[in-house]
Amino acid sequence: MSAPVALIDCNNYYVSCERAFDASLCGVPVIVLSNNDGCAIARSAEAKALGIRMGEPVHLIRDKIQKHGIRVMSSNYALYGDIQRRVVAAIEPFARDFEIYSIDETFVDFAGFEHLDLVAHSRAMREQVKQWTTIPTCVGIAPTKTLAKLANAAAKKNPIFDGVADLRSEEIRRWVLDQFEVGDVWGIGRATTEKLAALEIKTAGQLRDMALKHSRGVGGVVLERVVAELRGVPSSVIETIEPQRKGMAVTWSFGSPITDIDMLMGAVTQYAMRAGEKLRQHGLVAGRLTVFFHTNRHKQDRPQYSATRTLSLQPMTNDGLTLLAYARRGIESAWREGYGITKAGVMLEDLMEADRRPRTLFEEDNERRSRLMVAMDEVNGRFGKFAIVPASQGFKRQWKARSDAKSPNYTTRIAEVPAVKAR
DNA sequence: TCTGGGGTCCTAGGACCC
DNA sequence: TCTGGGGTCCTAGGACCC
């Protein structure tokens, strides 16, 4: 038997974060919206019970929101990111190694802890997170990461587990796998679900029993690995070192379509500058920049246009104004009159640590420019995102994201820290 | 179906080389 | 002009995830 792995996953994470600082949100239905206040991406148990689905567009459920008094929050990523740090700090003492898998999930390596009662150990870990952060969690324990994901889902779904499901026993595993559909398995999306359905494979248990060779033919190495993991044979490991990121993107949708190139340039200016800021925050430079924009694909009765331009950055850079110049060039070459653009973005690839970047022969000394960038970052950090912007960004910002109901930055801005009044 | 932004990994196919 | 096999690298697109 391979070493046990646990997945600790926060319940309704964004909603739980909002509740940590606003008690009026407790016990009532709450949803948190995506960027631009577009659709519901987190739901409290009460909201789920009212039938609100993951990703549901908010404009389709206005009636329901009114009728049931559902509380609606814009997303506040500064808050969720800061609380994540505290959650991880609470988990840390419970294992030697762990992998932060997403903003609300951490894989914990229990190798060397097998002599303990791991269920009790996991309960203590949950308790610690709850006490330090108020965030409720569930834990799944199993021999592989894929099974730990399912164990966690079982712990969330079935009260019998009381928040911690241990799938190390063959018997319980069999029982749980038969209860989940194939599409619930980590790594099985819509396309693969359909392929498998055609083969009469509908439950996680049936997928586990699929011949390995057959699975490879149907879904490549990815599916083969999933099947192996469902059998308890690890084909992935806990990644304890944060991998070097390969790309980053700043993209956005426009509420009303853009038909004017200057408006698009204004938006793209903002994205290019933001992309540069992200690069500098991570101490990286980029070797390639892609700009894209396209019309609304959901409205096929309107004229469609989609454009992408990829430019190679030489020398590699993280200078916002340079990125902007490339992005503008890309837009200019791709622009066509007569279309309503609803989405655009800037993507950076070929990332490398800034101090390891290759120098070019005739590279100018751009120390002044990098000092300018540092200064801009500082000013914008202190006085707000748009304190200093290139003139091409314009002043109207009609493409500005909607965020009508954002909670304060309780933990990351000194002016917004909640005050406790003595009586 | 309505619809969000930001990521990763895998595969197929073309260009190019020996 | 017709004829081979085998390898690498790059890119675009699909699939999936949170």
What single string gives the DSSP state of each residue in A107-144? EEE-TT-TTS-HHHHHHHHHHHHHHHH---EEEEEESS
Q: Is the CB of A105 under 7 A from strand C?
A: yes
Residues (175-234, chain A) with CB within 7 Å of strand B atoms? 220-222
Rounded-to-10 torsion of CA A110, A212, A152, A156: -170
A52 CA → B3 C1’, Å: 14
**SS3 at position A176:** helix
Nearest Cα to Cα of residue A395 among A269, A271, A255: A269
Quick one: which residue's CA is nearest to B6's C1'? A249
**SS3 at position A308:** strand
A104: nt with nearest C1' to CA: C18
Strand segments (E) across A157-227? 164-166
Q: Give A347-397 pLDDT, tens digit per residue.
A: 999 999 988 887 766 666 677 878 888 887 778 777 776 677 787 777 665
The two structure tokens encoding residue A128: 């610690």
Question: What confidence score (pLDDT) does residue A387 get?
Answer: 73
User: H or E element: which one contains A280?
Assistant: helix A261-281
Quick one: which residue's CA is nearest to B9's C1'? A222
Burial annotation A307-337 (CB, 10 A radius, 16+ → b, else e): bebebebebbbbbbbbbbebbbebbeeeeee
A399 CA → C9 C1’, Å: 40
Question: What confidence score (pLDDT) does residue A265 get?
Answer: 93
A55: nt with nearest C1' to CA: B3
Q: Is the CB of A37 under 7 A from strand C?
A: no
Angle between helix axes A77-91 and A13-21 (nearest 10 degrees) is 100
Question: What confidence score (pLDDT) does residue A412 get?
Answer: 82
Q: Is the CB of A236 under 7 A from strand B?
A: no
Question: What confidence score (pLDDT) does residue A208 get?
Answer: 97
A181 in Cβ contact with A203 (< 8 Å) = yes
Q: Is the CB of A34 under 7 A from strand B?
A: yes
A358 CA → B18 C1’, Å: 29
Gap between the Cα atoms of A338 and A117, Å rounded: 67
A171 in Cβ contact with A206 (< 8 Å) = no
Gap between the Cα atoms of A58 and A40, Å rounded: 6
A161 CA → B3 C1’, Å: 35
Q: How many CB atoms lie within 10 A of CB A360?
A: 10
Which segments in chain A show pLDDT lower than 70?
1, 360-365, 385-386, 395-402, 423
Question: What confidence score (pLDDT) does residue A370 get?
Answer: 80
Residues (305-364, chain A) with CB within 7 Å of strand C atoms? 308, 310
Omega before residue A315 within 30° of 0, cis: yes
A266 CA → C9 C1’, Å: 37
Question: What confidence score (pLDDT) does residue A413 get?
Answer: 80
**SS3 at position A214:** helix
Q: Give the total residue count for chain A.
A: 423
Quick one: which residue's CA is nearest to B8's C1'? A246
Residues 6+ apart with CB under 8 A from A201: A182, A207, A210
Gap between the Cα atoms of A27 and A129, Å rounded: 20
A352 CA → B17 C1’, Å: 28
A216 CA → C2 C1’, Å: 39
Question: What confidence score (pLDDT) does residue A220 get?
Answer: 92
The two structure tokens encoding residue A264: 């698009």
Gap between the Cα atoms of A197 and A203, Å rounded: 9
Gap between the Cα atoms of A356 and A352, Å rounded: 7
A350: nt with nearest C1' to CA: C10
Gap between the Cα atoms of A169 and A154, Å rounded: 14
Gap between the Cα atoms of A373 and A59, Å rounded: 40
Phi/psi-derived region of residue A172, left when phi > 0, alpha when psi is between -120 and 50, beta in every other case: alpha
Residues 6+ apart with CB under 8 A from A203: A177, A178, A179, A180, A181, A182
Q: Is the CB of A248 under 7 A from strand B?
A: yes
Question: What confidence score (pLDDT) does residue A399 get?
Answer: 57
